[in-house]
Structure 1
Amino acid sequence: MSTLTIIANIHAKADKIDLVKTELLKLVPITRADAGCINYDLHQNNEDPAHFTFFENWESREIWQEHMNAPHLAAYMAAIDGAVEQFTFTEMTKID
């Protein structure tokens, strides 16, 4: 089975950028230690500091779904409640 690539875009509210960034950074070491996580890289847009992007690769979609239900992700969602303007993710498969 092919690996799963996730591109997640998080747009923080203008007055909540620091909060969202702090909470996103907490996810990085915990998630990188998850079984099946190939990489989990957080980026911040140079021209729009409220825009964060994760580039993630997982061994399978099932493993990624386990991550989405993990306690550390639930804690993140509770901590940023009301601080995010928009969140989108795209599932992709590498073809070459």
Structure 2
Amino acid sequence: MAKLTIVANIKANPDKIDLVKAELIKLIDITRAEEGCINYDLHQDNDNPAHFVFYENWESRELWQSHMGAQHLAAYLEATEGAVAEFTLNEMTVIG
């Protein structure tokens, strides 16, 4: 099983930055404790506070997929419905 890197970009609506940030922060400790999670690091853009990035590494795609079906992610999606303007996710492989 190859390690999987995830880069997730979340852009909050300007009036919902604090809500989205608070909900993203709630995901950190519970996700870091999940099987297969190597790191799960949240970043906020210095020039655009509405832009958040999760940089994640997982032992395998299968274990990441388990994370994606977790209840805490469903709760995040429910809490931030209508508050996120844009979301992109890239599955990546380390090549160097």
Shared fold by TM > 0.5? yes
Aligned to 1:45: 45
1:35-74 matches, within 5 Å, as 35-74=35-74
Kept after mapping to 2: 8 A contact 1:2/1:94: no
Distance 1:41 1:13 in 2: 21
| Corresponding residue SS for 2:82 | coil
| Corresponding residue SS for 1:11 | strand
Structure 1: which 4+ aligned runs deviate by more than 4 Å?
Answer: none
Percent identity of paired positions between Structure 1 and Structure 2: 68
| Alignment TM-score, normalising by the size of structure 2 | 0.98
- Deviation (angstroms), 1:95: 1.6
Matched, 1:75 2:36: no
| Corresponding residue SS for 1:95 | coil
1:4-43 matches, within 5 Å, as 4-43=4-43
| Corresponding residue SS for 1:66 | helix
Q: CA RMSD in A?
A: 0.5
**5+ long unaligned stretches in structure 2:** none
Distance 1:76 1:63 in 2: 19
| Alignment TM-score, normalising by the size of structure 1 | 0.98
Deviations 1:22-57 (A, max 9, x none): 000000000000010000000000000000000000
**5+ long unaligned stretches in structure 1:** none
Give the number of equivalent residue pairs. Answer: 96
Kept after mapping to 2: 8 A contact 1:24/1:76: yes
| Corresponding residue SS for 1:22 | helix
Aligned to 1:94: 94
